[in-house]
Structure 1
């Protein structure tokens, strides 16, 4: 089968590789659309370790070629890329998403940048007909944001700040708005600020020396109830401590590859700040996320800036690193 293979850091080759087997009871999916995300870029560069050669890709939708746990042959399914053992301490405590013996499809085993992918049968979720195929890979990203929001006690009228308005930032804006929060989006790019505004942000600001004052004004002098750092930068994470109210919460949502960092730990103590660390997602997040998209409460298409054929994966990865104006989510058509 056709597959786009990462052979060494920053090198993608199109290869003909054997089709995956299903002799261990795996579900076999013919991939129709897949998405590129920041994790792929970090795997590509070596920032996130992965065995090589490896087929990347963990955001994928396709046709199920055999029966799965809750899906039938021929149905369109979204794949949960996190696999687990079922017997470790985390799995036994309903934390399968952080299984100590599991991993991520597309990082630890071959993923979706190929014609076919083999996945655990319980990881297939039937996609409603109302959702366009090219939008479905983005739902996997939405599930991770949903998992984070389940940790946060956000109520109507609360103030939520989203730092960084890439794909996850725009999704956090929409989820916070759906929960009735007053949402402040912050980023340097005007076009991203405009997009966040169109997706429901109440206030949008570029970073500035008086950004703390603006947040205090919106929050009537208290600070934000929740600050979501979705830029993945330790510097920005440090700034969140100034923005959050006493007794509030910070969600570090980016993937930080730094091994050392300076953060204002005294503020962390003195303001009694909660840190909400969310990784991956659970099955309930897939069901809820598809329902939100089906009902139009979260919009995905405005974030999709490009669609490319699978054969141009290497070029698409280069496109995403260029940070050209208007470029956000790239979907690979299979």
Structure 2
């Protein structure tokens, strides 16, 4: 990994904006790109998609210079069957910034304004950098039912699992979160009335809702024994193969829901609403904020698995 200096800046076209980067979160997919594990990634590749920045040049009538924005890193055609149904997350022509084309870890980013969401002045940069990953959970939880008092199990406490546990508790679920890494679970201690433990601690228990966020074959397969009859299993983590006990699912009327990214801008707007709520503060999941020039150390911290969210701070960005 290295930094490329003085890349040419393209001229803006109608509807486009140029953004000065402020903060960028390192995501699990950025780490997969770094490891060379994504066959559809084209190298050399600039990573980064969980970004917040300030518009410094605009050819979009609805976004002024000086406004902070976040971006959806998933471009969509706007014309296919799914886009027309309001489901750009499963667009047939979807591309992913930072994976199939250069991403946002640069001092400046040039992008069409249709992929930008202006954010309120009162929202901190630390909260804003969590809008994109939180929207993954917002979208997934729209597809299941969590009512006050229902038992919810979150399997895997990476960033998405942590956000899922926090949001499920915020909406009234009785949450249990499990992970093999105790340092990840420690991030949830500020959220009261939540049960935290190792997977071995919950043997024999069953839950109304199970949210799988680890994305391993073993983890997915273990979820079925943890799900009550009539329960709902939300799959957010991605694993190539897993065995599903079809007879059990049918006989116990269990529901399996797969969820991929989010619908933009609606899920982002919902995330902003949550982040403005003083009773919901997932910024505690930001383990470290590192200057961009320390990107190598930041990546090593993220790769270690001992931290939650590692964030890069770009030149000129102040801590809110």
Return the TM-score normalized by structure 2.
0.91
Q: Does residue 1:304 correspond to 2:290, yes or no?
A: no
- What is the correspondence of 1:240-319 to structure 2 with a 5 Å cutoff? 240-256=223-239, 258=240, 260-282=241-263, 283-319=265-301
- Contact 1:174 1:200 (C-alpha < 8 Å) held by counterparts: no
User: How far does residue 191 in structure 1 lie from its aligned partner after superposition?
Assistant: 3.2
- What is the correspondence of 1:90-109 to structure 2 with a 5 Å cutoff? 90-109=82-101
Structure 1, unaligned runs of 5 or more: 1-10, 216-222
User: How far does residue 269 in structure 1 lie from its aligned partner after superposition?
Assistant: 2.9
- What is the correspondence of 1:59-74 to structure 2 with a 5 Å cutoff? 59-64=50-55, 65-68=57-60, 70-74=62-66
- Contact 1:308 1:316 (C-alpha < 8 Å) held by counterparts: yes
Q: Does residue 1:183 correspond to 2:191, yes or no?
A: no
Equivalent in 1, 6, 15 of residue 25 of structure 1? 15
- Contact 2:221 2:242 (C-alpha < 8 Å) held by counterparts: no
- Contact 2:166 2:282 (C-alpha < 8 Å) held by counterparts: no
1:246-299 CA-to-partner distances (Å, cap 9, x unmatched) read: 12111111132x3x3334333233322211111111211111111111112331
User: How far does residue 58 in structure 1 lie from its aligned partner after superposition?
Assistant: 0.6
Judge which range, 286-295 or 195-204, deviates more. Answer: 195-204
Q: What is the DSSP-based 3-state SS (H/G/I as helix, E as strand, rest coil) of the residue aligned with 2:228?
A: strand
* C-alpha distance in structure 2 between counterparts of 1:125 and 1:250, whole Å: 31
* C-alpha distance in structure 2 between counterparts of 1:27 and 1:141, whole Å: 23
Q: What is the DSSP-based 3-state SS (H/G/I as helix, E as strand, rest coil) of the residue aligned with 1:63?
A: strand
- Contact 2:136 2:260 (C-alpha < 8 Å) held by counterparts: yes
Count of matched residue pairs = 311
* C-alpha distance in structure 1 between counterparts of 2:193 and 2:54, whole Å: 36
- What is the correspondence of 1:47-86 to structure 2 with a 5 Å cutoff? 47-48=37-38, 49-64=40-55, 65-68=57-60, 70-86=62-78
Return the TM-score normalized by structure 1.
0.87
- What is the correspondence of 1:85-164 to structure 2 with a 5 Å cutoff? 85-164=77-156
Q: Does residue 1:167 correspond to 2:159, yes or no?
A: yes
- Contact 2:15 2:59 (C-alpha < 8 Å) held by counterparts: no
Q: Does residue 1:212 correspond to 2:192, yes or no?
A: no
* C-alpha distance in structure 2 between counterparts of 1:255 and 1:68, whole Å: 36
Structural RMSD (CA): 1.9
Partner residue in 2 for 1:233:
216
* C-alpha distance in structure 2 between counterparts of 1:224 and 1:122, whole Å: 40
Change (3 A) 1:174 1:70: farther
1:123-156 CA-to-partner distances (Å, cap 9, x unmatched) read: 2222222222133221110011100011112111
Q: What is the DSSP-based 3-state SS (H/G/I as helix, E as strand, rest coil) of the residue aligned with 2:152?
A: strand
1:306-333 CA-to-partner distances (Å, cap 9, x unmatched) read: 1112223233222211123xx2111101
Change (3 A) 1:106 1:197: same
User: How far does residue 229 in structure 1 lie from its aligned partner after superposition?
Assistant: 0.8
- Contact 1:173 1:201 (C-alpha < 8 Å) held by counterparts: no
1:157-191 CA-to-partner distances (Å, cap 9, x unmatched) read: 11110011121111111211122111111112333
User: How far does residue 60 in structure 1 lie from its aligned partner after superposition?
Assistant: 0.5
- Contact 1:187 1:207 (C-alpha < 8 Å) held by counterparts: yes
* C-alpha distance in structure 1 between counterparts of 2:249 and 2:37, whole Å: 28
Partner residue in 2 for 1:320:
302
* C-alpha distance in structure 1 between counterparts of 2:10 and 2:30, whole Å: 21
- Contact 1:32 1:333 (C-alpha < 8 Å) held by counterparts: yes
Partner residue in 2 for 1:46:
36
Partner residue in 2 for 1:333:
313
